[in-house]
Amino acid sequence: MPIHLLWGDDEAARSRTVEALVAERTDPSWQSINLARLDGNDAAQASQALEEARTPPFGSGDRVVVLQRSPFCNQCPAELAEQLEAALPLIPTNCHLVLVSNSKPDARLRTTKALQKLVKAGAAHEQSFQLPAVWDGAGQIELVQRTTRELGLQLEPAAAEALSDAIGSDSARLASELEKLALYVGAQPGTKTPQPPITAAAVEALVGSHATNALQVGDALLAGQPAEAVALVDALLVANEPALRIVATLCGQIRGWLWVSLLDQQGENDVNAIAKAAGIGNPKRIYVMRKQIRGRKPARFLALLRQLLEVEAALKRGTDPGDAFRDGFLLAP
């Protein structure tokens, strides 16, 4: 299939797929001619990708044109849209145009519709790479299992759960840790011989069995344990988690609690309506949130949001992140 539409926020998995396609389709001896890597943020390079994809390969192997940050399915200018529509029928079967984007294709665009027609006809391939939400435990376990399969490794179920707990949705770190674990247990990725499985004991020995994420910080604040919240934040900061990202995650978590609390007070029982009002994609999460906030009034969540506002202001003034969180959580009235 000459067209490959790859999208989603799992950059590590996207990159593995792109590199696997390059390795499979191009001849290393001719890669300098038959492989192009371009940036779709530059309209000229996006146009160049279409031109190169229409050029048959030289020598042996196929031609692969990789366009990162592809504009064709998200806010595509009319001129580029016309160029894409004109180019699609002219791409040879031994040329591969790889369109890579973080965002889901906008189904309203004519370029997206044109590509979707090719997908349905079997002339194009679409693949999504979506990271699970930090609260989606099942999705995180599936991410671990999928990444393990992509790397050609074996993993015990208990080890998948342990890795999910320790790493969460950090796809790049997950791949790195799996490669280390493969060496630890004596596995050889990519070979056809049976591989020794990665065990939970190996994960605990090499990665650690305790996980920390920003949602745990929110749970500690909700439980009235600011010292525990500060300790969890310190662990996140040591792991190089950006301070403002921690604040953003906590704000989203607490705003969700606030919305659910307010709508419950108004007697709203439709979880779909609550999820839509709160901006929560999975309505099933409302049941979990209701249990978390049972017996707590909206004023509690407003107070937590004020604390986070103080932390954010301190961070943006240049305060050390550890000090900003400590002052915001421990010294709040």
Q: For 243-260, how does the pLDDT look when each residue is reduced to its tens digit (9 = 90+)?
A: 998 898 888 888 888 888
pLDDT in tens, 294-304: 888 889 999 99
Q: What is the DSSP letter of 30?
A: G
Q: How confident is the model at residue 164 (pLDDT cuts 50, 70, 90)?
A: confident
- Angle at alpha carbon of residue 12, lines to 219 and 15, rounded to 5°: 160
Q: What is the C-alpha to C-alpha distance for residues 155 and 178, in angstroms, rounded to an integer?
A: 9
Topology of domain 214-330 in CATH is Zinc Finger, Delta Prime; domain 3 (1.20.272)
Looking at every residue in the chain, the average pLDDT score rounds to 87
pLDDT in tens, 199-226: 888 888 887 644 557 778 888 998 889 9
On the question of pLDDT at 13 being above 70, the answer is yes
Average pLDDT (34-39) is 95
Alpha helices (H) in the chain, listed in sequence order: 11-25, 31-34, 43-53, 78-87, 110-121, 137-150, 157-167, 171-185, 200-206, 214-222, 226-238, 243-265, 271-278, 285-293, 298-316, 321-330
Buried b (16+ CB within 10 A) or exposed e, 142-180: ebbeebbeebebbbeeebbbbbbbbbbbbbeebbebbee
Q: What is the pTM of this model?
A: 0.65
Q: What is the C-alpha to C-alpha distance for residues 100 and 130, in angstroms, rounded to an integer?
A: 13
Q: Which of 230, 232, 228 has the alpha carbon at shortest distance from 213?
A: 232
pLDDT-wise least confident of 147-161, 186-200, 290-304: 186-200
Phi-psi category of 56—alpha, beta or left, where left has phi over 0 and alpha has psi -120 to 50? beta
What is the per-residue pLDDT for 210? 46
Topology of domain 137-206 in CATH is Helicase, Ruva Protein; domain 3 (1.10.8)
Average pLDDT (175-204) is 82
What number does CATH give the domain 3-128? 3.40.50.300
Instruction: List every span in the chain annotated with CATH 3.40.50.300.
Output: 3-128
On the question of pLDDT at 323 being above 90, the answer is yes
Query: Which tokens belong to 188?
Result: 């050889």
Most confident stretch, 13-27, 123-137, 182-196, 271-285: 13-27
Percent of the chain clearing pLDDT 70 (strictly above): 94
Average pLDDT (323-331) is 89
What is the per-residue pLDDT for 308? 93
Which residue has tokens 């064709």? Answer: 72
**Is there a contact between 57 and 91 (Cβ–Cβ < 8 Å)?**
no
On the question of pLDDT at 102 being above 80, the answer is yes
Instruction: List every span in the chain annotated with CATH 1.20.272.10.
Output: 214-330
Q: How confident is the model at residue 135 (pLDDT cuts 50, 70, 90)?
A: low
**Is there a contact between 174 and 163 (Cβ–Cβ < 8 Å)?**
yes
Q: What is the DSSP letter of 26?
A: B
Q: Which residue has the higher pLDDT, 233 or 190?
A: 233
- Cα 180–chain centre separation: 22
Q: What is the C-alpha to C-alpha distance for residues 267 and 262, in angstroms, rounded to an integer?
A: 9
